[in-house]
Amino acid sequence: MFNFFRTQKLDSTILEQIEDELILADLGSNLTKLVIAELKKVPTTKDIPVKELKFTVASILQKEILKYYKKDTLFVDDTPYVILVSGTNGSGKTTSIAKLASYMKNNGFKVLLAPCDTFRAGATKQLEIWANRIGVDIFNTDAKDPAAVAYQSLEYAKKNSYEVIIVDTSGRLTTNTNLMGELQKIERSLTKVIPEAPHESLLVLDATIGQTAVTQAQEFAKAINISGIIMTKLDSESKGGILLNVVKSLQIPVYFIGTGEQESNFKEFNLEDYLQQLLSLSK
């Protein structure tokens, strides 16, 4: 980023070029305007090296985004700790659930998967394959109603001393009011077992779809209380600025990022590392 810029004054022409590049990176208009407004406060009487400019932009973005982080990552403060996961078709939701389950297991928790995606043929089987692969349990039931599966799964988790239960849901288009209503029903069924549940409600978003990710997040947030984001497909080909755009728009944190299909391609989100990669900035 800012490859056009070497060492010169921050005049209106350069600021306009920076603004264009931030928009192209899917940073969004609000964050872009904030960055430009802060850059205008920088004295223009001296030439500024590109590395110094990048550090300045990183500092502006970090200060703004940290406003929406009440905690650095997930932590289990009650058991069973209920994590509801939602997202659209093709966002990488099922894979992310498996990776999250593996992450929780590797941190010493007893994990149960609740297969509430009863609409898609083969969804439960896919989750079973993942459960066997990573060595966690999955709740088995003949129930077809997603809310009933959620309720039964949580009751089972309580009786069998599971510390974390991850509730899968059907991938759904935000324009499908019936499916969005079903998501609300699942949320309500969990509260009947544990009033505080779900303790976390994570939305899986695909980084490659750009501004559509913001729209999707906003629509899901209208239906249920989203507490955090898992951003998938955040690789070198993605317009990574969309991640900050989502955080700013919804004022909720990104907890995890996925960069591939393997279990290892999943990690806690680190804002400093992310900004260094986004701005091509070495320490």
Nearest to 164 by CA among 120, 121, 111: 111
CATH number for 81-269 (one of 3.30.70.2860, 3.40.50.9100, 3.40.50.300, 3.30.750.80): it is 3.40.50.300
Measured between alpha carbons, how far is 245 from 210 in angstroms, rounded to an integer? Answer: 10
Closest to 152 in 3D by CA, of 179, 112, 122? 112
**CA–CA separation, 228 vs 226, rounded Å?**
6
Domain ranges of the chain: 7-68, 81-269
d(CA 235, CA 269): 13
Same fold, 7-68 and 81-269: no
Kindly report the CATH number that applies to the domain delimited by 7-68: 1.20.120
Q: What is the pLDDT along the chain (283 residues), one digit of tens a residue?
A: 655 555 567 888 888 988 998 998 889 899 999 999 999 988 776 778 888 888 899 999 999 999 988 766 667 777 899 999 999 888 889 999 999 999 999 999 999 999 998 877 688 899 999 999 999 999 998 888 999 999 999 999 999 999 999 999 987 666 667 778 889 999 999 999 999 999 999 999 998 888 889 999 998 999 899 999 999 988 755 567 899 999 999 999 999 998 877 777 899 999 998 998 888 765 4
